[in-house]
Amino acid sequence: MKNNWIETNTFHYSDFQNINKLVEVKKQRGLSISLCLPTLNEEKTIAKEIVIMKSELMSRYPLIDEIIVIDSGSTDNTIEIAKEYNADVYEANNILPHLEKYTGKGENLWKALYITKGDIIVYLDADITNIHPKFAYALIAPLILNKEIRYTKAFYERPLALSKMHIRSSGGGRVTELVIRPLFSLFFPELTQIFQPLSGEYAGYREVFENIPFPIGYGIETSMILDIYEKWGLNVIAQIDLDKRVHRNQDTKALGKMSFAIIKTFLKRVEKLGIIDLKTDLFEEMIQYSFANEKYNSNKITIEEHERPPIIEIKEYMDKFHK
């Protein structure tokens, strides 16, 4: 285990507050940067994210070259609001439409690779209540200042919002501590140094993202870390402390479904790496129970974890980016 990785590859966003310097280095290196916001019913937060990123990191400081919204089929006003605030908005099903259609965050991120133009791509969740330019520039900075770093990951305190009037300072990151950290400890102890492997804010070079597969659902963050680690090693990864992130929290049953998908993805990855040998196919159903009408009822939810191949294997992508 590389005990010094935390010291050498962990940063605080305040290390990078000279955004003019970042813009200068970006220009010197001839880099372009895209911001992608994957969305599904984010009408309450999407406008603020677009406005802040546009005003601070496109108009005031020309660090980001484009903001792309990839939507999974929102039934609220997310798409209309994003268009109103002049983001480039795409519906995932309309991108590479000849391919089989899937729905999920990983699907949006994968298809964003075809739409975006940047050498560096920043992915931010669209439900951040306390959005700030640091969520983007702090992820970008190590990538352009250190040529060895190819992928950056956010971590932060995650207050647990119990109501509009009550935010508890501890809590959040429950799936990380109950699922991912134990699995990493068992199989990849070096990766336990990544404080929040499931954070939805990360950035990296196109050449990294285009060469790894993307599970279409909740397993995307876990899969991404395992594949980058396996292909390029831990030293190409950096993590950045953003202090605090406030967003909506999910109930325990929703987190159970998320954990089910993540564990499936993890097990398939470690089997592919030859670390374990699964003697049976994994079941697709998550089984949960509720009590109603004086009896216990089982609720079965099918959670299929489809996976997109490295997008560099898609002809249309190759024709567009690698002619």
Domain holding 239: CATH number? 3.90.550.10
Helix (H, G, I), strand (E, B) or coil at 286: strand
Give the structural domain span for 99: 5-321
Q: Which residues of 267-303 are buried (b: 16+ CB within 10 A; e: fewer)?
A: ebbbeeeeeeeeeeeeeeebeeeeeeeeeeeeeeeeb
Query: Biggest alpha carbon distance in the chain?
Result: 69
Residue 316: both structure tokens together: 């249309």
Q: With residue 33 as reference, give the H or E element that holds it.
A: strand 33-39
Total-model pTM? 0.91
Amino acid letter, 150: R
Cβ pair 61, 103 in contact under 8 A = no
The Cα-based distances of 207 to 41, 113, 282 in angstroms read: 30, 10, 32
Picking from 53, 194, 19, the residue whose alpha carbon sits closest to that of residue 125 is 53
Domain total in the chain: 1
Burial class (CB in 10 A: 0-12, 13-18, 19+), 31: middle
**For every one of its 323 residues, what pLDDT tens digit does the chain have, with 9 covering 90 and above?**
556 899 999 999 999 999 999 999 999 999 999 999 999 999 999 999 999 999 999 999 999 999 999 999 999 999 999 999 999 999 999 999 999 999 999 999 999 999 999 999 999 999 998 999 999 999 999 999 999 999 999 999 855 444 444 433 434 478 999 999 999 999 999 999 999 999 999 999 999 999 999 999 889 999 999 999 999 999 999 999 999 877 556 788 888 989 999 999 999 999 998 999 998 888 888 888 888 888 898 888 888 779 999 999 999 999 999 98
Measured distance CA(58)–CA(124) in Å, rounded? 16
